[in-house]
Chains A and B, each alone.
Chain A
């Protein structure tokens, strides 16, 4: 009885390029996600029930209006005052119908809420009055680009007030709430062609620019998307060498921040700050200090001319790309590798940040007076 259209959704992007999954109708805009056919089916099904009851009620009303109109001065009319079976009937039958409607809506909702395990995650930030999309490689964009034929999960947060993220063609909507993360997912199988796109609307009132908070969704064939996101990820290349430490470093550090603090306090991994008297991460590495690693060795034993790492930079680079090789006591081997996610330039930015750690606040933002500007000495090279 209930169609499981989800399972029939085509997974061949080339076949349906530019085509909607469901066409635009009198009521609904075109559907372009894998859940759209199911939602549309439920909506149309309810509509047909509604048409039936509307015609029933209003039709009977008009018939009675005509048939029992007042004639002359005849005033008193006799009719049944009640009929228990009839009244029970029109109480119970609608109850059965709405229970059924609830059930199909519930089923569709569970599908729409269950995120596939292999979903591609994109982080969304909402603020008055723009959306910001951030991809796993650190690339960011103002419009949303998604790969065709692959489930996409959006993890969303707001910087100020309530917003609501709505892609009508995908039939998805989720409020974006300050102070918490919300998420939604969708899968669009058919790539958009050329200039075509799907609308993103903000649907929670957020002030003056509420109706300006519209952006576009572009669905790209998967390989094209992969290229796009790499290209988009080259933002690092556009930052000049002199500015790497404060423009790129802090942004990349956000991925490190959940384990490595800057102020010396204990985290999942060793703090970048000074926590044992050996100085911060750069000072203790450079000094070849007695900072303990690998169950009793000193850092100084492996860093230096002729040793395992010629330079402290070499050791830090290895720690990011191959974090299990040497472990700072007493921490275990829990850090994931960033090989493939972080370019050499990204590593350089992080190391440059470590070298200038005293110019950062403990939340990872650069101190305003440390920022080199056009008039400042440090910015002169630019």
Chain B
């Protein structure tokens, strides 16, 4: 009982998962969830770079209200479509679950791997095939439908690469479903002794809720894009009215997936924030159960509100009223989470490490993103704001300012664990500041653009809007600089970073109780778990330059209920 728990004060372990086997093939055929997570991570970050370049092209064009010689309207349409499709399907949806979640989830459970390691690898290769389809579509003429693929434009017009990219989305959907299935089974079956549902780290609750949405909603997307391909390729009328179809039906199908997909993006981010705020405040999370249940509540409600994307679509006013009313139900659990995070800061011991700065940025940006959802959910004001830059600003605050910022915060949080090295904290903070300032410059101005009536997806615009676009584009350059610095110091740390201790931040969940980087099997024996938010047994250890957990005290506190 005493022996195995002395592991946290790990002496040297010879092999870790990075050095356990060597060679390219050992990566290509790996079944190790950590290696798959790392491959996902670099694939996602690579896509993020491409999507980011597209965004900068779009923003640069918008410096000028009229036509520009170096970018036609069609090229502009393809650029913003590519930006949206890449960021949604290749970056944000897989980023947290498939990259960070894959790495952290089994370790948090004290497990050796996910329940279905082969399916996990298969899911990654499906992602690769899906991404390849998107690349092929660029060679086949690109696609210019917007990431929403609205019919009949997408089936009757649309550039030549529309079918390949739809096939890609179909395949990416399966990748996402497999990850979801894997996580659900893993959480159900591989929890260690003592880890009841309410002892799980909140990140796992969030991943669980996300996985539910992934497996229930994604099939609908698959069917929808398959129908689109059938209509476009064989002229079978499903959505096109000239062949007896209904374009509004497509919107229902599409948003039945794509609204829950918004929560596939944000829920894991919220899970990360719960970890980050508790660990870096060295303080028990406030209102564990409310946060856990709010994740599940959001997952359930997310299925009932898709019609709020269609208030002007021509659907019946009665449906508009119902969808507007139900939409507000999603606001409540989101607000509950924010209040609980705030209360976690109360009487904490807040360390402003880079991950924590991202978590605090998240709270700032998500508050704006959430509150600006209200005028969009309200029927009469949404009529004015729908399909303007106000919507663009709102969902960038939620998808980028929240989901992606959480992902980058989580990346900084677990980077020492993943690669066993520390990055440069100074540059980490500078970059976080640049991203925060740049982001707000870019997107806050877009709220004003939108409420002043500038429609989205416009190549040319009225000169009165130009000043806002200048500020917005300037902000996007500052943000890009922040990300560039981040890429440089992270890559630099891989080669020259200080060696990371097992527990650099003072976390109490299981991933901080194995070495950095973890050994191939994560844990030699199944660990016993206490309360992962009870930091009373965590001490700074000068010799290791990291934190250590007095495991016996930690377990004793949990069993006596002192932790709660």
Contacts and interface: CB of A to CB of B under 8 A. Distances in A.
A97 B288 CA distance: 24
B392 to A, nearest CB: 12
A204 interface: yes
Contact of A177 (B281, B314, B336, B452): B314
A54 B342 CA distance: 13
Contacts of B458: 210-211
Interface in B327-355: 328, 331-332, 335-336, 338-340, 342-352
A173 B349 CA distance: 51
B332 A61 contact: no
A76 B77 CA distance: 53
Contact of B349 (A27, A57, A77, A211): A77
Interface stretch (B28-36, B239-247, B266-274, B415-423): B239-247
Nearest to A91: B336
B85 to A, nearest CB: 14
B100 interface: no
B374 A205 contact: no
Interface in A67-113: 68-71, 73-83, 86-87, 90-91, 94-95, 98-99, 101-102, 104-113
Interface stretch (B425-433, B485-493, B533-541): B533-541
B372 interface: yes
Contacts, number: 280
Given A68-B348, A78-B347, A168-B384, A61 B157 contact: no
B457 A210 contact: yes
B320 to A, nearest CB: 7
A109 B317 contact: yes
A98 B146 CA distance: 32
- The bracket for how many chain A residues form the interface is 35 or more
Interface stretch (B165-173, B227-235, B359-367): B359-367
A70 B282 contact: yes
B371 interface: yes
Contact of B351 (A70, A107, A160, A210): A70
B484 interface: no
Contact of B448 (A27, A160, A171): A27
Interface stretch (B3-11, B375-383, B520-528): B375-383
A113 B320 CA distance: 11
B328 A203 contact: no
B455 interface: yes
B153 A74 contact: no
A207 B155 CA distance: 12
A331 interface: no
Given A61-B364, A178-B242, A180-B241, A160 B156 contact: yes
Interface of A: 26-29, 38-39, 42-43, 46-47, 49-50, 53-54, 57-58, 60-61, 64-65, 68-71, 73-83, 86-87, 90-91, 94-95, 98-99, 101-102, 104-113, 160-162, 164, 166, 168-169, 171-175, 177-180, 182, 199, 201-212
Interface of B: 73-74, 77, 144-146, 150-153, 156-157, 240-242, 245-248, 281-290, 312-314, 317, 320-321, 324-325, 328, 331-332, 335-336, 338-340, 342-352, 360, 363-364, 367-368, 371-372, 374-375, 377-384, 386-388, 448, 451-453, 455-462, 506, 535-536, 538-540, 547, 563-564
Counting from the closest, the 7 A-B pairs by CB-CB distance are A179-B241, A168-B453, A108-B380, A105-B378, A79-B347, A109-B379, A64-B345
